[in-house]
Amino acid sequence: MVRTEISLFLKNEPGQLAGLAELFSREGINIDAMTIQDASAYVRELFKARGKSLKRIASAASYNSMRKDSAEFALIRILVADGATNKAIDLLSRNEYVFDIMPVIAIELENRPGELAKVAARFGEEGININYVYGSVSSPEEKCLFVFCPEDIELAAKIFKDY
């Protein structure tokens, strides 16, 4: 199913994640899935992926400055509970967070060997590249939630609409 992921940068220092989580908690917004990575790794991959076109608009000095500055931040990707996305976006806006939204495919899988392989194979069979994926599970008895960011969201949505 297509859902909306929220991506934002937080200062890479103690208490920042707690502040964000508390903000969501006070508003009754549950986080279904989350991934956190060092933003400098994200910036390096962004520059690598964009290749020459980005190099033409950003000088080496700009690149080095961005890379240095990005080490001070963490990139957080969040999937909030169904129906809470607009509330979360409004909350982040009111509290002056810098964020972006992205359509993603969220699929609940049985928590057993081979389930992720089947889904990943289906993406591959359809020629859809996966930019990134993350998942969560609460116990061995429950289903896993995996979040996929495919290059072709429209095709992926058609393929996985009944998952």
Would you say residue 52 has pLDDT above 50?
Answer: no
- Give the H or E element holding residue 36: strand 31-38
In this prediction, residues 33-54 reach a mean pLDDT of 67
Q: Which domain holds residue 140?
A: 2-159
pTM for the predicted model, two decimal places = 0.79
Cβ of 24: how many Cβ atoms within 10 Å?
A: 19
How far is 130 from 52, CA to CA, in rounded Å?
Answer: 22
Count up the domains in the chain and report the number.
1
| pLDDT per position as a tens digit, 141-150 | 889 999 999 9
| pLDDT per position as a tens digit, 87-109 | 999 999 999 998 999 999 999 99
User: What CATH number is associated with residue 40?
Assistant: 3.30.2130.10
Confidence band, pLDDT 50/70/90 cuts, at residue 50? low
- Adjacency order of strands within the sheet including 73-80: 31-38, 73-80, 2-11, 99-109, 144-150, 130-136
Tell me the CA distances in angstroms from 94 to 4, 28, 90, 106, one per residue in order. 19, 16, 6, 27
CB-CB contact of 9 with 39 (8 Å): yes
Q: In one letter, which amino acid is 84?
A: A
Would you say residue 38 has pLDDT above 70?
Answer: yes
Give the pLDDT score at 53. 47
